[in-house]
Amino acid sequence: MNVTDRFLEYVKFDTQSDELTNLTPSTPGQMEFAQYLERQLQKMGLKDITLDENGYLMATLPKNMDRKVPTVGFIAHLDTSPDMSGRHVKPRIVKNYDGGDVVLNEEKNIVLSPESFPEMKRYVGQDLIVTDGTTLLGADDKAGIAEIITAVDYLQQHPEIKHGDVRIAFNPDEEIGQGAHKFDVNRFGAEWAYTMDGGEIGELEYENFNAAVARVTFTGRNVHPGYAKHKMLNSMRVANQFVIMLPRWETPEHTEDYEGFYHLTAMEGSVEKTVLTYIIRDHDRDRFERRKKELEHLTRKINNEFPGCASIEIKDQYYNMREKIEPVMHVIDIAEEAMKDAGVEPRVVPIRGGTDGAQLSFKGLPCPNIFAGGLNFHGRFEFVPIQSMEAATRVIVEIVKRVAAQ
């Protein structure tokens, strides 16, 4: 099977994660997919295959050379985003894309257009895998899984390519920030690894956001509105006051590159109780800490006006892996050179998000992120160029070759 055939097979599995179940994996579809992959790896003859009760699948492509070289790993995640359904995905290949609109669903008038997504123009003449507009596609991160397995298969078919031990792993629940929580770094046994979980072709990432989630609760007092003067405290109105106290330009829709933000992700309320959920993001650790303090400060301001009304809970999620990668920058150098060997122009960019690699780096496994090739993740307009998946597969092979040549 080539990388495209594998990918089209993998997206059939419904593997949305769900942060509300408090299980690992958070949904049964992820374990079903992991078991399917386990059988594939067994048929390929890989060694040290393990699938634990939490859905972490690991395997080894054994070395075929006598000299000792570092063990390198490649990792991708099993789950797709909870933001949109990943059930009954109906992928379609648009061959030799002409640069115009792509009608995903004529009946529902869902169109993938370069007017809205100008990056499509970069892929004119290539073959795009798209959705039917009713689900996400799942390139995040089933493209990464397909690329890793296809690269391993290629190495098996070409024993003339000498390599050391190559470890691979597929984990659950990355999309809900828990992918690395139960990842056994010692059992994995690699000196360093790469997550195949980036976006467009050429992306190489070793900087990501510092991240936290904040929940601000406002407690009101309900009284019949006809007799409410000086008695009612409408928690929704107070919550709205809190929202507009934050700087309006420091939101996702107004920031880029290294700019951080506050992002209101959920609001649920009534007169008596309203809860706001924010995610806080910044690449710079000091600014990140100041953002958390600003939310606490605004909570105190609300309580000065409405005593005892507001409370806040802030929980850190992950940190910028840069501080863990910089001492071992040879892992970035290898990836950059491997991309060039594979005919890909490397683009070192910061991740405006998170990755399992960040948490794994802080657990002792340096783990930068390499492109998997997809675009417009987490929604109906997601697509992946086949040529980008093929390039990512070549990059994996070239990394393995460069590690063996050290």
CA dihedral 302, 304, 305, 307 (to 10 degrees): 90
Per-residue pLDDT at 355: 84
Q: C-alpha distances in angstroms, 34 versus 79, 128, 171?
A: 10, 26, 8
Residues 284, 334 share a domain? no
Span 208-231, average pLDDT: 96
Q: What is the pLDDT of residues 127-149, one digit of tens each?
A: 999 999 999 999 999 999 999 99
User: pLDDT averaged over the chain?
Assistant: 97
Residues 360, 299 share a domain? no
Q: What is the pTM (predicted TM-score) of this model?
A: 0.89
Domain end call among 318, 333, 352: 318
Per-residue confidence band for 10, with pLDDT thresholds at 50, 70 and 90: very high
Residues 251, 159 share a domain? no
Peptide bond into 25 cis (omega under 30): yes
Residues 199, 185 share a domain? yes
Q: What is the pLDDT of residues 296-320, one digit of tens each?
A: 999 999 999 999 999 999 999 889 9
Structural domain span for residue 141: 3-207+320-404
* Tally of domains in the chain: 2
Hey, which residues are catalytic here? 79, 174
Residues 201, 232 share a domain? no
Per-residue pLDDT at 265: 93
Per-residue confidence band for 406, with pLDDT thresholds at 50, 70 and 90: confident
Per-residue pLDDT at 79: 98
Q: What is the pLDDT of residues 347-387, one digit of tens each?
A: 999 988 878 999 999 999 999 999 999 999 999 999 999 99
Q: Is 282 helix (H, G, I), strand (E, B) or coil?
A: strand
CB-CB neighbours of 353 under 10 Å: 15
Per-residue confidence band for 73, with pLDDT thresholds at 50, 70 and 90: very high
Domain end call among 275, 301, 318: 318
Residues 379, 235 share a domain? no
Per-residue pLDDT at 276: 98
| CATH code: domain of residue 398 | 3.40.630.10
Asked if residues 176 and 80 have their Cβ atoms less than 8 Å apart, the reply is no
Domain end call among 299, 318, 337: 318
Residues 349, 310 share a domain? no
Residues 331, 276 share a domain? no
